[in-house]
Amino acid sequence: MSRPLPRRTVLRGMLAGVAVAVPLPRLAAMLDGNGTAWADQTPLLPRYLTWFFGNGADPTQWVPQAVGHGAEWSLSPSLMPLAEFKPWLSVLSGYEVKIPALYAHKSAPAAVLTGAQAAMNGDVTAPSIDQKIAALINKDTAFPSGVHVGISNVTGAGALDFNISFNGPNAPNPPNYSPADLFATLLTLSGAQEPDPSLFRRKNILDVVAEEAKALQHQLGAEDRVRLDRHLEGIAELQTQIDATITAADCGTPIDPDVAYPNRGEDGSISLDRCRAFADLLAFACACELTRVASFVFSCAACHAPYTEAGLGNVTFHEDFGHRLSPMGIDYATGGFHTGVAYAMSGLAELLKRFRDTPDVTGNLLDNAVIYTTSCVGQPWDHRMDDFPLLVAGKAGGLLRGDLHHRAPGDNASKVPFSLLKLFGSPETSFGAAEGLVSETIPELLA
Amino acid sequence: MRRGDSQPLGVLLAALLGASACYQGDSANADGSAGTTTAAATGDDPGTTAPTTTASDSDGDEPDAPQTVPGPTLRRLTASEFAHAMQDLLGPVDLGTVEADSLQDGFFAVGAARVALSPAGVAKYEQAIGDATAQAFADPARVAQILRCVPTQLADTACMRDALATFGRRAWRRPLTGVELERYLGVAAAVGTETGDVVVGLRHAVWALLQAPHFLYRVELGLPSPDDDGRLRFTSYEMASRLAFTLWNTLPDEALLDAAEADLLVDGPGVGEQAARMLADPRARQGVHNFIAELYGLWALGEKVKDDTLFPQWTPTLKAVMRDELLARVEDVVFDQPADFFSLYDGQKVFVNNELAAVYGLDPVEPDVFRAAMLPEGSPRRGLIGSALVLAMNSLPARTSATERGQFIAESLLCRTVPPPPPNVDTNLDDPDVEDPGPQTLREKLEPHRADPSCSGCHNITDPLGLALEHFDTIGRWRDTDQGLTIDASGELDGKYFADGGELALLLREHPVVANCLVRKLYTYAGGRLPLPRETDTIAEVEDELALAGNRFDKLLLALVTHDDFRFAHPAGTVVGEDIEGDKP
C-alpha cells in the first residue's frame, strides 16, 4: 500500500518499466501570485519541531528583564547564544505547569508536551503536541509520524524515558541518535542516487508482513490490536518511504555528517557537532518536505549525561549542577548550571542557524517554522514548575509575531502548545486534561 | 538511570505524599503499587466477555472485591531475546540497532508487553533483519546450516517447501499453516525468478518470516480449555516458547519443538521434564544472566560516569569486569555449586582480575586472569551489597549516595516501594544558614533532613540501609574515614541492629521478605506484568517450593514454569474474586 506523495509531485517518468512520479522542491514559481499559497490555492504549511532539553533553567537567568516587542526587550544571559535569532524568538515567561507535581521530571514535561499528567511509570496519558500537529499536516509526507532525533542517549532517572514524542500512551516515538543513519535514509529519498530495483522486493515483502499482521489482529485483545495497528502504520510508513525513494525528489544531497563532522563523538554523546549534524539533516528534510514535523531531544527529562564539552567535567549535569550537588560547592554548581543551560541553547542555535540559512519559498525555513522549546522542570534544584522555560522560535510563515517577550505570571503553561496547535488549523477547542486543560490561546504571540 | 526516579539526593529529601504515604512496614506491598496505572486489564472490554465466576464467598467472611483479570498479551521480543533468536537462526551476525526496550515496573520484560513499536522501529527491524540475512546468506556453507534443504533450482519446490517449513517452525515457534507456507514460498519463487537465484529468493522469504509479528512478538494467547473452568490453556507450542524465553532468553530448540509437536507440554509433568533438561543446558546461564541483568539494572552501568579527576580508576575495563563478576557470582551459586541463592546476599567469594582485585584490596596475581577469590576472614565486605558493581552503580559521580544504595536494597532485595521525590524541596545538602560547617560525614549532612517530617517518611526507608555502606567509596573501595572523619556505619533493619555493611548483609540473607521478593520479581519478569493481588497465593506456593529446595534458584525456576499460573491464563476481562472455587485449580 502507499500513501499520496507530496503535492510537489509534478514530473513523471519510467523506472524498471513502472511509471513513477518525480517530486520537485518547493519553488516560488509554483506559488500563487501573492506567494502565500500553492498555485492550486492550497495553503503553504509551516514546519513544526519540538526542541527539548532536560533539567530546566534558572528563571533568574532565563527570563529577560523587560517585556515587549523588538527593541523593548533584550535577551537574558541563558538566551544569549540565540542573540542573532532574536527577531524569530518568542519568549513566554511566568507560565506555570498546573498539573499536580506528582512525579518530579515527569509531571511537568508531560504537561508541557501533552497538556496532561504523566503516568506513574513514566509514560504519558495523551498524545504529544508534535503528533497532534503531524496528524494535521504531515500525513502526505515520507515520514507521516515525523522525524525524531536525539543528542544524548543517557537516561533520566525514570522520567519520560528517552522520549518527548508520543502518539498516545504506550506509543512513543523514540529518538534516532545516529546522524549517519538518518543521512543514509534521507540520501535514498533525496533523488541524489539511482533507485535500487530491490526496493520493489522490499515493498512486496512488507505487503506480506502486513497481511500476516492483519490476520493476527482478529485473535487479539483491544490493547494488543492497538499495538499491532501501530506496527501496521509503521509498515505503511516504510512503504511510503520506499515509494518516495522510487520517485525521489531532486532536492540535492544532504550533508554527510561523516564528512562534515568526523569528530562529532559517538552516537548518544553530547557535542555541538552532533547538534550541527542533525540540524543539517532536519533542515534538509524539512526544506524538501520529506517531513513537516520533527522532534529534537538535546537531553531527555532529568538526563544524567555529562556536559563535558561545556567544561563541566565528566559528572552528571543533573546531579552536580541541576541539583547543585557538586563537591566543589554550591556557587560552583550554580554557575555550572547556568553554563550548561547556555550550552544547551548553543545546541538550539545550531538548528536555528541551519533553518535561517535554508531558503524556503519566498523566505527561509526559520520564517516558515515553529520550533517549540521547553524542558522537564522550571528551576531544577527544587523541582519548581512555575516560571517554566517556554520558548518559540520561528515565524510560522508570518503567523507569529516574533521578537517578543510576553510575561503572564501564573497563567497555564498548556496555553503555549495549544496556541501552536491552533496555528496549524486544528479545529480542537481545547487542549490538555484536568488542571492542564485550556481553551484559550495567547493572542500576543500572533502577528 | 530509569529504575524508579532514583536521582540520588533528589530522592534524599523526598516525601511525595508526606510521611504517611511511604511504606515503612514489613508486609511490603512489594512493587505491586508501582504499576497500578498500567496493570489494569489489557484485553477486551470486560462487558463483552462473560465472567468465569461471580464474586461470592461461602464462608461468610467479607467478600473480596471482584478483580478484572488481564488476558494474555503480545510481548515484543526484548532486544536481548531478539539478538539471541537471530543468532540461533542465522549464526553469528552483526546486528544493527533495533528500537530500544522500554523499562516499566523495573523490567524490560514488562515494557515489552505494553509499549507499541514506533514507525521508525519498524524500519529499524527491516534494515537490521535485511542486513543480517544478507550477511548469513552470503556464505553457502552457512546457508546449508540455516536451511535444512538448499535447492539448486526453482523447480525444486519440495526442497524449498522443506527449507521454509522447518525454518519457519523454528522462527515462529510453531509450524506454519498451509496458507502461511504458500505465502512465503510465493516470496521465494518471485524473487528467485526475478534474480535467477533460488537462494536469493529463499533469503527474501526468510527476511519476510523474520519481520512477521509471529517472530517479533511472543504470540502466546492460549486456547479455551473446557476442562479447566473456562481458563485459557497455553498450547504446547506456546509453552515451548514460554519455557525457552523464560529459561534461555531465546527460541526453543528442536527437541522442545518436537515435544510440543507431540503435545507433551500441556501438563505439569511434561513441562517439568523439558524444563529440567533445559536447566541443564548451557543456555540456562544465558537465561539467568538476562534475569539478573534486568533485576539489578545492569544496563545502566554503561552510562554510569564518575568524576575522572577523583576516580581515574573508573575505566571501561573496570566496569566490564564488575559486570562479569556479578554474573559470575550468580552462576557460581545457581549452577556451579549450586547453593542457596541467598548466599549471594552475604557471601564472601568474589571473582576478580587484577583491576578489580585492587578495588577489593586483594593482591594481584601473574598472569592476570579472571579468577575466584575469597575475601579475608573478618572482612566487613559481604554479599551483593558489598560488590563493586552494586556500590558503584548506586553512587554519585563524585561521592557515595546512601539514598541510592538504600533504595537498591529496599526495592531490589526487599520489594519495598520508595516513592519519587516531591517538588519544591531543595535537594542541596549544604545548610545555607551556616557559612562554613567544616567537613561533615554524609550521615551528619543527612541528619537534619531526616529529622524533617516531610522528608523522613521515605528517607527512613532508604538512608539507614545505605549509610551502612559508607565505608565503601563511590567505586566500591574500602575507606576508613569520610573526609577524615570517623564513619558510623551502624543502623537497624526492622528492629535488628547492625554495626556495619557486613552485618547488614547477614541480616538481609535471613530477612523473612527476601524470598517472597525474589519470587515476585521473577514472576513479574516471566509474566511480563506485575503479579495481581489474587496471585499472592501463587507467589506463596512458589516461595514454599523454593524453601523446600534449599533456596536453589534452578528449583525456583522449575517451580515457576510448572505452576498452573504459568500454564494458564484467563480470558481478557474475566472478573474473579480471590479464593473462589474454580478460579484456581
Q: Which residues of A touch B38 (CB under 8 A)?
A: 119, 121, 123, 170
3-state secondary structure of B150: coil
The distance of Cα B431 from the centroid of its chain, to the nearest Å, equals 40
State whether residue B44 sits within 8 Å of chain A by CB: yes
pLDDT at A77 > cutoff 80 = yes
Cα(A121)–Cα(A49) distance, rounded to whole angstroms? 26
> Nearest Cα to B165, choosing from B173, B150, B176, B151?
B176
pLDDT at A12 > cutoff 80 = no
C-alpha distance from A24 to closest chain B C-alpha (Å): 25
The whole-number pLDDT of residue B65 equals 64
Does any domain span residue A282?
A: yes
DSSP codes of every residue in A404-435: EEEE-TT-BTTHHHHHHHHHTT---S-BSSGG
Cα(B561)–Cα(B252) distance, rounded to whole angstroms? 15
DSSP H or E stretch at residue B342: none
Q: Which residues of B touch A213 (CB under 8 A)?
A: 212-213
A315 vs B398: CB contact, 8 Å cut-off?
yes
Nearest-CB residue to B126 (from A106, A159, A238)? A238
State whether residue B427 sits within 8 Å of chain A by CB: yes
Q: Which of A208, A229, A290, A386 to mutate to test the interface with B (most CBs of B within 10 A)?
A: A208
| Nearest residue in A to B12, CA atom | A323
State whether residue A234 sits within 8 Å of chain B by CB: yes
Band (pLDDT 50/70/90 cuts) for residue A366 is: very high
Domain that holds residue A56: 45-181+253-445
| Nearest residue in B to A201, CA atom | B191
State whether residue A292 sits within 8 Å of chain B by CB: no
Using N-to-C axis directions, what is the helix angle for A198-217 and B198-211, rounded to 10°?
40
Contacts with A194 (C-beta within 8 Å, 6 or more apart), sequence order: none
ipTM, 2 decimals? 0.90
Does any domain span residue A237?
A: no
3-state secondary structure of B107: strand
State whether residue A354 sits within 8 Å of chain B by CB: no
- Max intra-chain CA distance, chain A: 71
The residue with greater pLDDT, B202 or A35, is: B202
Cα(B19)–Cα(B27) distance, rounded to whole angstroms? 17
The residue with greater pLDDT, A10 or A130, is: A130
Q: Which of B133, B210, B305, B306 to mutate to test the interface with A (most CBs of A within 10 A)?
A: B305
Q: Which of A227, A229, A290, A324 to mutate to test the interface with B (most CBs of B within 10 A)?
A: A227
The distance of Cα A102 from the centroid of its chain, to the nearest Å, equals 26
Band (pLDDT 50/70/90 cuts) for residue B356 is: very high
Between A295-309, B44-58, B84-98, B564-578, the lowest mean confidence (pLDDT) is in B44-58
Nearest-CB residue to A385 (from B99, B211, B423)? B423
Q: How far is CA B456 from CA A383, B103, B362, in A?
A: 19, 28, 38
The whole-number pLDDT of residue B425 equals 65
A205 vs B211: CB contact, 8 Å cut-off?
yes
Q: Give the mean model confidence (pLDDT) for residues B153-163.
A: 97
Number of domains observed in the structure of chain A? 1
Q: What is the pLDDT of residues B178-235, one digit of tens each?
A: 999 999 999 999 999 999 999 999 999 999 999 999 999 999 999 998 888 889 999 9
The residue with greater pLDDT, A14 or B358, is: B358
Cα(B100)–Cα(B526) distance, rounded to whole angstroms? 19
The whole-number pLDDT of residue B432 equals 53
State whether residue B91 sits within 8 Å of chain A by CB: no
Cα(A235)–Cα(A230) distance, rounded to whole angstroms? 9
Cα(A141)–Cα(A243) distance, rounded to whole angstroms? 11
Q: Are strands A404-407 and A89-93 parallel, antiparallel or unpaired?
A: parallel
DSSP codes of every residue in B534-548: GGHHHHHHHHHHHHH
Q: Which residues of B touch A381 (CB under 8 A)?
A: 426-428
**Whether residue A427 has a cis bond before it, omega within 30° of 0:** no
Q: Which residues of A touch B117 (CB under 8 A)?
A: 227, 230-231, 234
Q: Which residues of B touch A327 (CB under 8 A)?
A: 307, 310, 398-399
Q: What is the pLDDT of residues B395-430, one digit of tens each?
A: 988 889 998 999 999 999 999 988 766 666 666 665
Band (pLDDT 50/70/90 cuts) for residue B314 is: very high
Place of cell 515451548: B240
The distance of Cα A235 from the centroid of its chain, to the nearest Å, equals 22
Its pTM stands at 0.89
Residue A49 — φ and ψ, nearest 5°? Answer: -135, 145
Does any domain span residue A389?
A: yes
Q: Which residues of B touch A326 (CB under 8 A)?
A: 398
Tell me the pLDDT of chain A averaged across its residues: 88
The whole-number pLDDT of residue B441 equals 83
pLDDT at A15 > cutoff 70 = no
pLDDT at A1 > cutoff 70 = no
Contacts with A158 (C-beta within 8 Å, 6 or more apart), sequence order: A103, A105, A106, A122, A302, B1, B2, B3, B4, B5, B6, B420
The whole-number pLDDT of residue B22 equals 33
State whether residue B34 sits within 8 Å of chain A by CB: yes
3-state secondary structure of A11: strand
The residue with greater pLDDT, A350 or A30, is: A350
Band (pLDDT 50/70/90 cuts) for residue B263 is: very high
Nearest-CB residue to A231 (from B73, B117, B180)? B117
Q: Which residues of A touch B104 (CB under 8 A)?
A: 121-123
Q: Chain A window 54-73: which residues touch B at a Cβ cutoff of 8 Å? A: none
Cα(A235)–Cα(A186) distance, rounded to whole angstroms? 18
A382 vs B572: CB contact, 8 Å cut-off?
no
The whole-number pLDDT of residue A361 equals 77
Query: What CATH number corresponds to the domain at position A426?
Result: 3.40.720
> Nearest Cα to A129, choosing from A119, A115, A141?
A115
A103 vs B420: CB contact, 8 Å cut-off?
yes
Q: Give the mean model confidence (pLDDT) for residues B373-384.
A: 95
Q: What amino acid is encoded at B67 in this protein?
A: Q
B117 vs A230: CB contact, 8 Å cut-off?
yes
Q: What is the pLDDT of residues B205-215, one digit of tens each?
A: 999 999 999 99
Q: Which of B33, B49, B103, B118 to mutate to test the interface with A (most CBs of A within 10 A)?
A: B118
- Helix then strand then coil, in percent of chain A rounded to 5, is 40, 15, 45
Does any domain span residue A376?
A: yes
A384 vs B212: CB contact, 8 Å cut-off?
no
The residue with greater pLDDT, B403 or A295, is: A295
A323 vs B7: CB contact, 8 Å cut-off?
yes
CA angle at B545 for the pair B540 and B546, rounded to the nearest 5°: 95
pLDDT at B49 > cutoff 90 = no
Contacts with B239 (C-beta within 8 Å, 6 or more apart), sequence order: B260, B265, B266, B271, B567
Cα(B25)–Cα(B420) distance, rounded to whole angstroms? 18
Grid cell listed for A278: 542533525
Cα(A199)–Cα(B253) distance, rounded to whole angstroms? 34
Q: Give B79's strand partners.
A: none
A318 vs B7: CB contact, 8 Å cut-off?
yes
CA angle at A39 for the pair A33 and A40, rounded to the nearest 5°: 140
Residue B218 — φ and ψ, nearest 5°? Answer: -85, 105
> Nearest Cα to A38, choosing from A50, A49, A29?
A29
Cα(A201)–Cα(A198) distance, rounded to whole angstroms? 5
The whole-number pLDDT of residue B48 equals 32
Q: Give the mean model confidence (pLDDT) for residues A61-72.
A: 98
Cα(A390)–Cα(A375) distance, rounded to whole angstroms? 8
pLDDT at A29 > cutoff 50 = no
A157 vs B184: CB contact, 8 Å cut-off?
no
Q: Give the mean model confidence (pLDDT) for residues A227-236.
A: 97
Cα(B467)–Cα(B136) distance, rounded to whole angstroms? 53
State whether residue B95 sits within 8 Å of chain A by CB: no
Does any domain span residue A360?
A: yes
Instruction: Give the dihedral sign, CA B490/B492/B497/B498.
Output: negative
Does any domain span residue A72?
A: yes
Q: Give A311's strand partners.
A: none
